[in-house]
Amino acid sequence: MKTIHEVKTTRNGINIPVVGFGTWQIPNEAAYEAVSLALKNGYRHIDTAAAYGNEEAVGRAIKDSGIPRKDLFITSKLQAQIKGYDEALVEFEKTITKLGVDYLDLYLIHAPWPWDQIGKDCTQGNIDSWKAFEKLYKEGKIKTIGVSNFAPKDIQALIDTCEIVPFVNQISYWIGHTQKETVSFCDTHKILIEAYSPLATGKLFKNEKIVAIANKLEVSVARLAIKYCVQKGTIPLPKSTHEARMIENADLEFKIPALVMAELDQLDR
């Protein structure tokens, strides 16, 4: 089986394709073509968010692909600044309407605080939102629920007060930035890690050590970076609007040797 079609399984038995297609920073008008090309080239895990402003185009591309809904894994996210039980229920309905689907495979709280107030204590708002997520999950409207950008203390607050431990935490993760404390906490609680920005928004291409290792293995920096995330047990979400790069990012039929993995681990700052 090609790596892109392999899966990781959540605690509640839901299979997530181990490589997703991210749509962050792809505007609505470009997202239709990007997602259409991704689906054409084998991606079956599509990640979007209300904050990206492209749910409508993503949904149209999914519908027009003709791929059966059951063969796709679709993620969206509650906007970071929206907190609360009723508010989360309203936003979820907006999201599935825009996407044109009747359920989500994964729904995430996008961040523990609004992006313009990073670090603000929104514990009660997150708890209230999470209780709405639990309701939607129990009703079968979401197959699996999770969080994004949550540190251990943010997740612990949910564990202490709610019924369901998050199944997924989507965090920034790449070679040299592996968030060990958060990953360790999530591993303890059997929370899967999704790795957004696995190419560090392009910064890895300028890292001489990483470029040298990629050259030695005769793979591109992008392929090395994405495969690294897979071998570390995370679910990377590379994005591109260029078909050739989408194909390259999905070409992961090689293994990074253990000694090279150790060398890449040493780059963690």
> Residue 2 pLDDT > 90, yes or no?
no
- Report the share of the chain in percent with pLDDT over 90: 97
For the chain, give the mean pLDDT: 97
C-alpha pair distances (Å), 69 with each of 46, 115, 175, 226, 257? 12, 32, 33, 26, 37
Q: Residue written as tokens 């999905």?
A: 250
> Tens digit of pLDDT for each residue in 42-80?
999 999 999 999 999 999 999 999 999 999 999 999 999
Q: How confident is the model at residue 29 (pLDDT cuts 50, 70, 90)?
A: confident
Q: How confident is the model at residue 1 (pLDDT cuts 50, 70, 90)?
A: confident
Catalytic residues: 52
User: 0.95 exceeded by the pTM?
Assistant: yes
Q: Is 140 helix (H, G, I), strand (E, B) or coil?
A: coil
- Domain made up of 3-265: CATH architecture: Alpha-Beta Barrel (3.20)
Tell me how far apart the alpha carbons of residues 139 and 154 are, in angstroms, rounded to a whole number.
25
What ranges make up the beta strands (E) of the chain? 7-9, 15-17, 21-22, 45-47, 73-78, 104-109, 142-148, 168-172, 192-196, 235-237
